[in-house]
Amino acid sequence: MNSSSTDPHEAKALARRPVGWVAPGPRPRGADGRPGLVPAADEHLSYLTGDWRIFQLQDGHRWSLDDFVTAWVALDEARRHGGVARFLDLGCGIGSVLMMVAWGLPNARGLGVEAQARSHGLAERSLAWNGADGRCRAKLGDFRDEEGALANEGPFDLITGTPPYIPLGHGIVSDKPQRGPCCFETRGGIEDYAKVAARLLATGGVFVTCAGARGDAERGDNAARDAGLAIVRRVDVVPREGKQTLMWVFVMEPAGTTRTPTPTERFAVRGIDGKLTAEMHRARADMGLPP
């Protein structure tokens, strides 16, 4: 099945690739004759990072800006760390952040944990399609359960997490596959992610997470403090110049870290004219996407 003819997102991605442009990063293995690595009738196999792809439901949750910016910041932190050997993505969903980080850290071993069976299955298949399944795994389970999927795992040099933003009772939960738990805090929010990350971080490790602007940045501050972590870096993401902050990305380390917190950064996706900003173009290049 040629997914490029059925996936409008992939068609758009292909159209953005200049003639002669070659995607950087590790090459994917592809289906390579393996059963189950061809998109089903209700799925797309879309471009993600470099030439890597991701299985997504046509009418389900798809990778988005919060995944992209969180992974981009995480890889920047990994370069600063200089020795990430193991990384973890909490609530990995369909595997977008897990695979973006795996793409950027081709020698590191990764683990993702996801509670929704369909999303977990998509993540496993994407890892296999990209040829990362030898060093990265996706486990099915609720990461809050200390005796569950994360029992006997860790420590990790880098932990990521893109929590849902909307508390229950603050809107109508979608009944479409994946979308409800991906948007609403049916299994906790940033506070739960921070507590688990604090327990599993290696000495000198970092936790990179995000929060949506439905709340306020103080929620991230409180989540860090209550988990015994300290925010050492914050990136305020603006969808377009002149607009309000859409989301925050937080970098946390164990409280007592000797790292000096940096001034709050501002990341604008588009300028007043609607075109991608220079900083977004730099981020895209870092993540193996065309200009």
- Which pairs with CB-CB distance under 8 Å and at least 24 residues apart come from 188-193? 188/144, 188/163, 189/163, 189/164, 189/165, 189/219, 189/223, 190/161, 190/163, 190/219, 190/220, 190/223, 191/222, 191/223, 191/226, 191/227, 192/144, 192/163, 193/90, 193/91, 193/161, 193/163, 193/223
**The 136-140 sheet, strands edge to edge:** 136-140, 109-114, 86-90, 156-161, 201-212, 247-254, 229-240, 265-270
Cα–Cα distance measured from residue 6 to residue 199, given in angstroms and rounded to the nearest whole number: 43
Q: How far apart, in Å, are the Cα atoms of 43 and each of 37, 121, 188? A: 11, 12, 28
- Residue 253 sits at φ, ψ, to 5 deg, of -130, 160
Lookup: tokens for 70:
């969180």
Cα–Cα distance measured from residue 186 to residue 198, given in angstroms and rounded to the nearest whole number: 21
Cα–Cα distance measured from residue 84 to residue 206, given in angstroms and rounded to the nearest whole number: 10
* Per-residue confidence (pLDDT) for residue 14, from 0 to 100: 80
Cα–Cα distance measured from residue 271 to residue 193, given in angstroms and rounded to the nearest whole number: 32
pLDDT tens-digit profile, the chain (291 residues) = 344 445 676 777 788 889 999 999 999 999 999 989 999 999 999 999 999 999 999 988 789 999 999 999 999 999 999 989 999 999 999 999 999 999 999 999 999 999 999 999 999 999 999 999 999 999 999 999 988 999 999 999 999 999 986 554 445 555 665 554 545 555 578 999 999 999 999 999 999 999 986 667 888 999 999 999 999 999 999 999 999 999 999 999 999 999 999 999 999 999 999 999 999 999 999 999 998
Which pTM was predicted?
A: 0.90
Cα–Cα distance measured from residue 28 to residue 94, given in angstroms and rounded to the nearest whole number: 17
* pLDDT tens per residue across span 189-235: 899 999 999 999 999 999 999 998 666 788 899 999 999 999 999 99
* pLDDT tens per residue across span 259-286: 999 999 999 999 999 999 999 999 999 9
CB 207 within 8 A of CB 161: yes
Domains of the chain: 64-286 (3.40.50.150)
* Per-residue confidence (pLDDT) for residue 228, from 0 to 100: 98
